[in-house]
Structure 1
Amino acid sequence: MAFISLWRKYKFVCLHVVAWVVYMAIGTLNKVSAGKQSIHLLDILLTQLPGIYVFYGNSFLFFKLLSPRKFVWLLIGEVLFFLSYLLFFYFIGDVLSPLLAPSVAIPPLVLKSFVISGFWIFMIYSFFGFGYYFARRSFLNEKEIGRIQLDKLAAEQGKLEAEYAFLRAQINPHFLHNTLNFFYAKSLGYSKELSEGILTLCEIMRYSLSSGEDESGTVLLGKEVEHLHHVIKINQLRFSNRLQVDFEITGDVWAVRIIPLVLITLVENAFKHGELTRKEHPLVFRLEVTEDNNSLCFSIQNKKKNGPKELSHGIGMSNIRQRLSATYKDRYRLNIKDEEEYYAVSLVINYEKNEMEHPPAPDPGVGKSNAGEPTGRISYNQNIN
């Protein structure tokens, strides 16, 4: 097991060691077959060191500089490397060999002509190094192509899954929306409160499915306000009109556009975590559009619930920050004040001149909704009819 573990960890190094051992063994056998009776181990190692030096040195240069744009640097590198190789070859043959193995040192004739013999060795092992570079590069290219193909297949699979999920997300809500409309028609003769609740839920789903963004991905703020009214109303119906909600709107909400479903996320967070049934601590919404300085300010304040808290991962708030940053860059401020008993959020968006608009007054049924006028002050602390 230990051997297998070492092999997996150092497989690349082990393959090189095995290759050189086999290469030296073949060379040794050739010497023996040529009639050389005594083969010294140091003779084998020392005579192969210059070749190994050339092989790995040239391989390094090829991997780093072998390209048309670096050809001059490769040529300079090869010249410098050849000079360093001659010094190394001289050191092995004339200095190290006589010290370590005097009886097997390189003959004087070879040392005197070490430039010629060194050049020959340099060319042979440079050729081996180029072959190694070519094989290694081909292997890496094949591996990279395989990885790209796997990534492409994974991307295509992810795209198919996303399209399938999107299709399911489209089918199920539309089916539920149509079913709710059917329930609304059937409930008209039985309970006005029930039919209003179903109709309001239909409006919420309709807006969530298609909020009517333009090319920039924004909607009229007035549409968002209508949606807020619907959500407040449906929550009042859920809690038998016991919620204390104070919603004040000032300014022309039809004069600006905003990315959809940002304000509603803040509102739903307040309904989820707030204590909203006490008159002295109502849920307070404030929405102000100021055309003088082209700004929108939306704030929420609520008292926290006592007892166990609902599980929250903060995904909604993180998503809001990302969307606001992507759309408004540094032209927004989102401040959160999280105290022991109270929670407050304020969002300020500064618009540019060309982002303010003055559309004509909306037609009845378009600019208004069952929740009433989208502007003004409404206190949701009594029955809503």
Structure 2
Amino acid sequence: MTEHTESYYAASANEYAPFPALTESIHCDVCVVGGGFTGLSSALHLAEQGYDVVVLESARVGFGASGRNGGQLVNSYSRDIDVIESSYGADAAKMLGSMMFEGGEIIRERISRYRIDCDYREGGLFVALNHRQMSTLEEQKANWERYGNSQLTLLDEEAIGREVASERYVGALLDRSGGHIHPLNLAIGEAQAIKLNGGRIFEQSPVVKIEHGSPAIVKTAHGQVTARYVLIAGNAYLGDKLEPKLAKRSMPCGTQIVATAPLPADVAKKLIPANYCVEDCNYLLDYYRLTADNRLLYGGGVVYGARDPDDVERLIVPKMLKTFPQLEGVKVDYRWTGNFLLTMSRMPQFGRLENNIYYMQGYSGHGVTCTHLAGRLIAEALRGDAERFDAFARLPHYPFPGGRNLRIPFTAMGAAYYSLRDRLGV
């Protein structure tokens, strides 16, 4: 059996009765492949609308990035609206911009409606390490306000010094519609909500084959699901063999996180007094926040190709101490990695392999909120209103330069270039 990685989240997860493995042949309206946020959000929206839904998860609910990420509710996409407008045109920007803040709203609605205990805290900071980055945040504020976000405040150097006990930053953008959560507990809560609405979830049931047709047949080692529709939502954990077309234009990447031992309450309060989550503006960004039990959870860096680095602590703790040198000597209790799926455009990839086989993937490190939007969009599409789903599906899905064999070194070279620019402040 494949269990959760040894993370802080797994150690502090809410208890739930494990879902069974699939051992028979069953039928349903929609079979969802993948029990992360994309699959869970989709299944919950569909089950609420009366669809008979089956979720197949190869390990445990929230096993992948959904249960391992930084837990930050960050609005928009991995490419912001100004880039979308310049790359895809005003019409695409208008449609995608109208949805930029919807994912976070869906999460808050889910937490409230189903009383999900996942340590939700309001507010997120984008912090600038230099004046060039601060100028970018000023532009971001103007762009987001054009699309309806009225909860933004620019902070100067003195103000950010009151919000984060670090001398690294020249300013920040506070988004009060952002926030942070215990992501694995959100996933568990959403899975229980699916069950409450009549959906069926099977864990430890990796899909080995999808037979296209009408209906489609989704096979596991010990059972199969015959479905009117299939949604492929495996993201970085889908692998290259199940649907090779989806693997050609994406690349799994790893990120690393540590969680300290619990800090004294007064120490934690001094680090981030308002308990916001924080991410910097570098290309290879750092992100951090406090947990409910006063640990500092700190993550950053990217491993292209999703290899597990030998020593997560060695990679991340120097970053943490550069931000908070006052934590020198603090014990690290947990260290782990998680994979997300990167696309060449950094935009999510939605589409259809057949008229009844859909996919949603590739949030490029920006998936907590966008996955929840995705669930609403697929439910709209299956109901017959595909306008918003197709706004994403029409975006081009570019292959990585050099094909699958060279995508890792080429992407790493590009990242090294932008990382140098970050260090030089240009």
Q: TM-score range by the shorter chain?
A: under 0.3
- Higher strand fraction (1 or 2): 2
- Higher helix fraction (1 or 2): 1
- The two structures have a TM-score, normalised by structure 1, of 0.23
Q: Who wins on radius of gyration, i.e. which is larger?
A: 1
- The two structures have a TM-score, normalised by structure 2, of 0.21
Higher relative contact order (CA 8 A, sep 6+): 2
